[in-house]
Amino acid sequence: MKSSSCLVVKSKVVMNIMSINHLTIFKKGFVFLGIFLLVLSVLISLSVLIGLFDLNDLEVLGHSGLRSVAAIAVLGCLLAAIGYHDG
């Protein structure tokens, strides 16, 4: 049986964008945490561009605020990739 990335609900095809139905609860947690961190980094970046706060407010241990936001995004990507790993 070939698996697809679509669900059929009442004879209508509905896209399953994240296709997490086959994942364990532990892997689903990694995927959702990773995507949450990615969205958080985008929201922080947009709020800095809008002017809600300054990048200097995000300095951690002497590293620039931009580096801190980038670290959050990279961590989110890694967690989501680990969650989607099939091995």
C-alpha 2: how far from its chain's center?
A: 27
Predicted confidence at residue 34, as pLDDT, reads 94
pTM of the model: 0.73
Predicted confidence at residue 1, as pLDDT, reads 46
Q: How far is CA 19 from CA 7, 15, 68, in A?
A: 10, 9, 30
Give residue-wise pLDDT tens across range 31-56: 899 999 999 999 999 999 999 988 88
Low-confidence stretches of the chain (pLDDT < 50) are: 1
